[in-house]
Amino acid sequence: MDEVSIDRERRIRRALDHLRNNTTDQMEAPSTFVAAEHTDAGLAERERDLIFGRVPTIVCHGSEIPQPYDFVTQQLPRNKVIVARQPDGSVKTFVNLCRHRGALLEEDASYTGCGRARLFSCPYHRWSYNIDGTLRTITRASTFGEVDKSQYGLVELPTEERHGLVWVVDAADATIDVATWLGPDMDSILAGYGLADLVNARAEGFDEPVNWKVMQDAFLDGYHIAYAHPNTAAKIIHTNLMAFEDFGRHCRFVAPRKTIDKWLDVDPPEGESLVPYVTETQFLGPCHTLLKQPDHYQLLTFRPDPVHTDRSWMEMRLMVTPQERSGMTPERWTKLWDKNWEILLAVLHQEDFPLLRASQTGMASRDAGSMVFGRNEVANQVFHREMRRLLAAPDHEVSPPLPAISAGVTATPATATPATS
């Protein structure tokens, strides 16, 4: 067993001790926040620019654009984009806009299958662009006038494919270095997962009338499971129990599944892996929750709406072993992941989304007062601490990750800073 596996087993055994003692890892103190952090338009604009315009976020799994000339489209917080696989296997991201009069080049191409094109052609005046973004054709060029075509290619955003995921910084004048953003700890963790060897079996996006931070908070929180999901997730996962590690910009935690209860009264044999008995969750700042399940991974992404403070875009992906390597027939493989996906969608639509919409409605009250994250809401505290740090950080301090604080109960909570317009 390698050192990474040994460390994982230690954390799971710490979670088992918590379960036996009715305890959990905690922060040093509760932390406060105010409703305006989820309703203030000025703050939302700063988040789009100072967070999403400066740090990498995930736009797709590499298997969603497997071949050269494959592409998907996305709405990011600052730009509509086209993400395209290049002939050399690299990936480029372009603002989805013709440089002539601003028409969209491509409509939605994502989730149900990628688009495929050797060039992008504008439907308005038929200007066209090569897959690498260079301007290919100006129609009726002899009457248009002199234009330096090299200056009117598609606007490119910084893009990098790492750990099987495509990352983009949503600003043309930014730079990208995913390894530096992740830091050595989280970069090593993701490398160990082998996500590049998986395929994206299912994906879907959801336009919700909820601020993106309200959405993200719900999927870092193990405190609500028994109360919001009594007949679904609570039958599988223990509530309010985490073995937690804080990596500065990011964090991870393990939560025991109910199957671990067989070891409550007796210690598991030395050397037996307890990985099948837990869900391991990563918060990948600024807007992703990656869940490692016993037989697959779920990636959840939460982005602010480009205009409305009280709207956001959520994406859910299911990353699994390819059918060819799964040992399953195509029919069994498809049936398994269809069933899994249907369960996930049912919980979202019937349980999570109604609660979160109501929370956003409540946040609109003018006299909402301050609110509080508990010591037990460790990942939520990290999320809000890091978003405040990013908003306050000068450019040269954004990418280098903060030092890992340490496992367990260590981090100092952030206090609320009233939003300003």
* 169 DSSP 8-state letter: -
Matching CATH topology for 3-55+184-407 and 57-160? Answer: no
CB 120 within 8 A of CB 106: yes
Map out the domains of the chain as residue ranges: 3-55+184-407, 57-160
At the topology level, CATH places domain 3-55+184-407 in Naphthalene 1,2-dioxygenase Alpha Subunit; Chain A, domain 1 (3.90.380)
At the topology level, CATH places domain 57-160 in Rieske Iron-sulfur Protein (2.102.10)
Among 47-51, 162-166, 410-414, where is mean pLDDT lowest?
410-414
Percent of the chain exceeding pLDDT 90 equals 88
pLDDT digits (tens, 9 = 90+) for 253-306: 999 999 999 999 999 998 899 999 999 999 999 999 999 999 999 999 999 999
pLDDT digits (tens, 9 = 90+) for 358-407: 999 999 999 999 999 999 999 999 999 999 999 998 887 776 555 444 33
pLDDT grade, residue 419 (50/70/90)? Answer: very low
Omega before residue 30 within 30° of 0, cis: no
Specify the pLDDT at position 416.
41
Mean per-residue pLDDT over the chain, rounded = 92
- The identity of residue 135, as a single letter, is L
Query: 159 Cβ partners below 8 Å, 6+ apart?
Result: 83, 91, 92, 93, 166, 167, 168, 176
CB 168 within 8 A of CB 177: no
pLDDT digits (tens, 9 = 90+) for 119-141: 999 999 999 999 999 999 999 99
pLDDT digits (tens, 9 = 90+) for 222-265: 999 999 999 999 999 999 999 999 998 999 999 999 999 999 99
d(CA 313, CA 49): 17
